[in-house]
Amino acid sequence: MKRGKKYNEVNKLVDKAMLYDANEAIELIQKTSVTKFDSTVEAHIRLGVDSRHADQQVRGAVVLPHGTGKTVRVLVFAKGDKAEEALAAGADFVGAEDLIPKIQNENWFGFDVAVATPDMMGVVGRLGRVLGPKGLMPNPKAGTVTMDVTKAINDIKAGKIEYRLDKTNIIHVPVGKVSFGSEKLEENFQTLMSAIIKAKPTSAKGQYMKSVVLSTTMGPGIKVNPAKISE
């Protein structure tokens, strides 16, 4: 893959053979950002589990202390009082059965997170095939299937992110923006890592944190020493 001149210049700052401490990696990540816009800082965490087994799934949610720097659009599936509560709490979109054809037929995905009250899951289940692959399906483990829609919306707007394994046993999540600076990025990163460590399945054997890489949008990856993070 051909890289631009700017990328090649900053890539020289990264020692590919080195495992950096988290604070060193975060300092370096800011120096290697190549975009004119405020890049997102992402963490890519490979775990020593097998996501094909139900008892080795790693999935959950955590509120980053400084948010993600992104405005999150929240859709809530609810009726009656709960629909009114969701609107009052700042949900961007609220609906019930009326949302099914809009999403299924019109291919509408103008939201980033979907929340549902438990009584709406029969309706939402009909959208599983379209919401599931996009990671938009409400889930009790992520706190997005709940009667407390106000708390769910407030947490999401405050910077709550969901983490889950992909098919290659890697978690990909944002930890903030380059403009946050080292201190806020490190606090967000450590909060995320603590949550993932606590979510370790009891059936997981051997090394849990296999590798951790930080990168910015279109920037080079920087390896973080997993031994300095893990149990």
Residues 72, 73, 75, CA angle at the centre, nearest 5°? 135
Q: What is the pLDDT of residues 107-126, one digit of tens each?
A: 899 999 999 999 999 999 99
- Closest to 215 measured CA to CA, from 165, 182, 179, 175: 175
In the Cβ-directed half-sphere of 12, how many Cα atoms lie within 13 Å? 5
Judge contact between 127 and 100, C-beta under 8 A.
Answer: yes
Domains of the chain and any CATH numbers: 5-67+161-228 (3.30.190.20), 74-158 (3.40.50.790)
Axis crossing angle, helix 22-31 with helix 182-198, rounded to the nearest 10: 130
Q: What is the pLDDT of residues 146-158, one digit of tens each?
A: 999 999 999 999 8
Q: What is the pLDDT of residue 36?
A: 86
- For residues 32 and 113, which has the higher predicted lDDT (pLDDT)? 113
